[in-house]
Structure 1
Amino acid sequence: MDVVTQWIRTTWTNRSRGGPPAARREAFPLTEEGTPLLHEIDMSEQDDFNPISSVRRELPNPDRVAIHEAGRLLSIELRPEPGTAPARWQRGSMVLLRPGQWLRWRIDYRITHAGGETYRLDTLNLAYRPDAAAAAFAGVPARFLDERTQLS
């Protein structure tokens, strides 16, 4: 499938909550061409928000992003991570993209564990049949979904 995906996950605790590093980047340059391409970037308070990235020739996890081609359109269903708070009850179910279009989806989470609470911001950039992978996320996305909410 002719899809380029970049998934940026930023994780922090109350120590840096609301600080600039927690929401530092929305897109990173891509250095590889071809599809499918999955570029994952993890940044955490624990690693001083230094990006750790990996690139693979595959589609995103279908439990998180369901992708189907329907004629000349790409149908994308974005699924919040299970077991995290707050629950997202009122939300759209599907996004459609035409060739050459891309979307940006932002969603945040609060994760409670024995050591306290951790917060995470996910930014998913997904392009359908981009002219060039390296320029897939330049400019303004055709679709922008912002599901960030109050995490307290």
Structure 2
Amino acid sequence: MADRNATTSWTGDLGSGSGLVTLDSSNAGQFPVSFATRAEDPAGQTSPEELIAAAHSSCFSMQLSGLLGEAGLTPERIDTSAEVTLGKSGGGFAITGIALTVQATVPGADDATFQQAAQKAKEICPVSAALTGTTITLEATLS
């Protein structure tokens, strides 16, 4: 397995400063970040929580695809969104929850098999494991 890297270059204080996130594997360039857009309106900038949401939704989708494959099912499509909530905690901030929502088209799958695979994917995908201690909810729909 390969290691993955990202780098952030930050300038200034928390309130008025800003940074650029570079994903080493991406040709998309740099992604601007700031605390103001993290806590308020994103206005074209990303945030650590959005990057976690991207990691979680893609990890979950891959894990679900693998589990369905183990059950002899091939998904036509898996659409997953992850909503990461940032809230106050103690004297600072914390990720207070992640809501995964998945809708999938899986020929030949019954709802019970799909729900079981989706629940297991939520529990064992590596990003979920890295976020142990965070409340993660799942809404899974088979179409």
TM-score, normalised to structure 2, is: 0.27
Structure exhibiting the larger radius of gyration computed from Cα positions: 2
Kindly indicate whether structure 1 or structure 2 has the higher relative contact order, using CA contacts under 8 Å at least 6 residues apart.
1
